[in-house]
A and B are shown apart, each in its own frame.
Chain A
Amino acid sequence: MTIQDWSWTTLTIFGLTLLLSALVFSLTANYGLRALLFGVYVPEEERQLPSIAALRRRYQLRVWIAAAVIFAAGAAWILAVNDEAALYTPLAALLQIAVCGALFFSSRREALRLKAERGWGVEASGKRVAGLHSRLGNLTVSDKWFAVHGVVVAACVVCAIVFWDRIPDSLATHYGINGEPDRISNKSIGTVFLMNFFQLFLIGLFWFVQYSIRASKLQLDPRQPNRSLEKQRRFRKVNSAFLMGFSLLLILFFGVLQGFMIYEWPQQAMNIVLVAFLIVLIGSILVLVVYLSRKGLDPQPNTPPDERHWRAGGLFYYNPDDAALFVHKQFGVGWTFNMARPMAWVILSGVIAVPLLLVLISVLLT
């Protein structure tokens, strides 16, 4: 392979990474609740306002322009310098996240201005409705599906043990984004099975995500409790099934990565795997969002949020009088913590500490 070929695969991966994060950012304007405009509650009768649709479109346009500019600058750099592109993809992704975050908050300011102009008073209804039987039956797909993940991990481990003698004495433990190894370590339990530890960690993490989908607050719309309950149950089931498939894909990906590490599979193939993985990821996220919006599935009831408890522009939820640990985000994708619960801090530090610990152990073992 020539250097020119390498830079094309690098460019593809670079482009797909930026595409993925631009997609996620531009979808935050559409995903989920129509009642919320960048976290600002819009009264029912005002939702068809042309300036609302215009604000959403403007934000999305800016996100894509930012992605295009960052991609063009990065691509020019990669083609001009033609090496060490490993650093640029994460840097560019970080830059994009920072820019899109800033775009989001400027759109939120515009939404707040619109709110002041149109006088969208939030009449917090003070009514709360919960179903006594809403948690009967399954809110997520069964945890038994994780057995499939377990089988994949076991297969990876068994293969490594069976082919132990064929595994070379020095292993590439770190790859640049162009697919070339840039760190070599000696063969040991820690290096050979490193990916399996990560797989186990991912299974634990995704089990926890499934648990949080089940446990998170099921707040209903007081005006139509039955309908909003049905919608929320469907929303959770669909997301849970998606995440089950997604986590399996991730586990398989780490297994393949281990294969490239220890069985010396051709490196060109790794780029193809990486590109395929990113394409599948982008495609499945698009399918999920289109499906959810076609079916009109909302993540939360159509009621104004209690703005006193959403801090830092709606980013964090802090309500000591709410027993809920997991609540749905005001904007963006997924669930978040009630920061007033000590357990939220315990879990957050655990999620950060465990991967660090895994890396530390693997470093100590080598």
Chain B
Amino acid sequence: MFIEMDLQSEVPLYAQLVDQLIEGIASGALHPGDPLPSVRSLAADLGINLHTVNKAYTLLKQEGFLQVHRKQGVVVNAEGMPGVTEAFERKLDAQLKTLAAEAAVRGLSAEAFAEKCAGAYRSAITGGGESL
């Protein structure tokens, strides 16, 4: 699996990395227990600061998506994913609300909006968003 960073994007680099790693797990490109490169080597290959990668890994570890082993280094959590937490539901609600409001103002129907959501979900779990 490849990580692609857009240095000119408004999305912070650490957030781009977090999103892509979660997308990788969702699509099955990354399996539980899969090793990830060390902070140093991923930062070096991307040509970005150590702290950026470290921040992304730390966030994902706190959420329970990643584990840090003393021997194996950073791996995708082998004991399963964190599940739907209250914090996640709040985040989901907030982001959906923003998008739903704009969709309504722009005249997108509730059905079309729901269909978009379902489509995004399907393509996330099949990796449809990625070019194969």
Instruction: List the interface of chain A (C-beta within 8 A of B).
Output: 126-136, 215-220, 222, 225, 306, 319, 321-325
Q: Which residues of B contact A217 (CB under 8 A)?
A: 44-45, 47
* 22 examples of A-B residue contacts, CB within 8 angstroms: A126-B7, A126-B8, A127-B5, A128-B46, A128-B48, A130-B2, A132-B2, A135-B37, A135-B41, A136-B35, A215-B44, A217-B44, A217-B45, A219-B46, A219-B47, A322-B44, A322-B49, A323-B47, A323-B48, A323-B49, A323-B50, A324-B44
Count chain B CB atoms within 10 A of each CB in A126, A136, A216 and give the residue with the most: A126
Q: A225 touching B44 by the CB < 8 A rule?
A: no
Beta-carbon nearest neighbor of B30 in chain A: A132
- Say yes or no: is B86 at the interface (Cβ < 8 Å to chain A): no
The verdict on A130 contacting B49 (CB below 8 Å), with A215-B41, A324-B44 known, is no
The verdict on A219 contacting B7 (CB below 8 Å), with A132-B36, A132-B37, A323-B50 known, is no
A136 to B49, CA, bound (A): 22
Mark each residue of chain B from 33 to 63: 1 if its CB lies under 8 Å from any CB of chain A, else 0.
Answer: 0011100111111111110010000000000
Q: Which residues of A contact B42 (CB under 8 A)?
A: 130, 132
Q: Which residues of A contact B1 (CB under 8 A)?
A: 131-133
Instruction: List the interface of chain B (C-beta within 8 A of A).
Output: 1-8, 24, 30, 35-37, 40-50, 53
Q: Which residues of B contact A127 (CB under 8 A)?
A: 4-7
CB proximity of A322 to chain B, nearest CB, Å: 5
The verdict on A129 contacting B41 (CB below 8 Å), with A322-B48, A323-B48 known, is no
Q: B30 touching A325 by the CB < 8 A rule?
A: no
A61 to B61, CA, bound (A): 59
Q: A218 touching B45 by the CB < 8 A rule?
A: yes
Count chain A CB atoms within 10 A of each CB in B8, B24, B45, B50 and give the residue with the most: B45
14 additional A-B pairs beyond A127-B7, A323-B47, A325-B44, beta carbons within 8 Å, are A127-B4, A128-B7, A130-B42, A131-B3, A132-B1, A133-B1, A135-B37, A135-B41, A217-B44, A219-B46, A322-B47, A323-B40, A324-B43, A324-B44
CB proximity of A31 to chain B, nearest CB, Å: 23
Q: Which residues of B contact A135 (CB under 8 A)?
A: 37, 41
Beta-carbon nearest neighbor of B53 in chain A: A323
A126 to B2, CA, bound (A): 16
Count chain A CB atoms within 10 A of each CB in B1, B24, B46 and give the residue with the most: B46
Q: A129 touching B2 by the CB < 8 A rule?
A: yes
Q: Which residues of B contact A126 (CB under 8 A)?
A: 6-8
